[in-house]
Amino acid sequence: MFSNVINFTKTLYAIFQLEAGPQKLPSSLPLLVGSLIFYVLCRLWVATFDYSVVAAGFLGVFDAVLLVLMASVPLLLLKRGDRILRTVTALACAGIAVSLVDLFLLFLLSDLPLPVSEERMDGLLSFLTFPVLLWRLLMNTTLLRYALSWGFMSAFALAAGHLAVVGFLGGKLASSLAG
């Protein structure tokens, strides 16, 4: 059991370094469900910096559903359904890692005593956490390239589309929930 955890951690590390694809992960439904639940919780926690808990919870679930659809639909259309578990698990684990880094930066930056207004502080936080968003985009693009056997631009368009829909449509829906 312990060696499986170490092997899983080593595989995730290789994936985070963009040296391996989702095919290296074990195909496990409990692992997928656990990673998706933790993904939703991490995305919820990050979203609480901008939204109420209810709206952040909606945004976390919305993001996770789109993540599953982003990977599953093309794989089903390409008749590669056997790759869905591993691909979604890898995307969720990558999202968890990026969310944890994002949380660290948000906590660190929100406690700095900067003499700026609330609006300028939000803009500063967005600017300083933008590299984390780019890292998430690169991770998702690489994982989709491996899973779908597509070129960089096609995988990039799919990953960027996911982030755009979550950012704009999900943000608007979450804002309407907040009141």
Does 22 map to a domain?
no
Q: What pLDDT, on a 0 to 100 scale, did the predictor assign at position 80?
A: 92
Does 10 map to a domain?
no
Which structural domain range is residue 113 located in? 27-177
Handedness of CA 37, 39, 41, 44 (dihedral sign): negative
Does 102 map to a domain?
yes
89 close to 25: Cβ distance less than 8 angstroms:
yes
Q: Taking the model in full, what pTM does it have?
A: 0.90
pLDDT (tens digit per residue) in 73-120: 999 999 998 999 999 999 999 999 999 999 998 888 777 676 666 667
Helix residue ranges, H only, the chain = 2-16, 29-47, 53-77, 84-110, 118-148, 152-164, 171-178
Tokens of 120: 């300028």
Q: Give the SS3 label for residue 51.
A: coil
Does 131 map to a domain?
yes
Q: What percent of the chain has pLDDT over 90?
A: 54
Query: How many domains does the chain divide into?
Result: 1
Does 3 map to a domain?
no
Does 64 map to a domain?
yes
Does 4 map to a domain?
no
Does 89 map to a domain?
yes
Low-confidence ranges of the chain (pLDDT < 70): 1-2, 112, 114-119, 121-122, 178-179
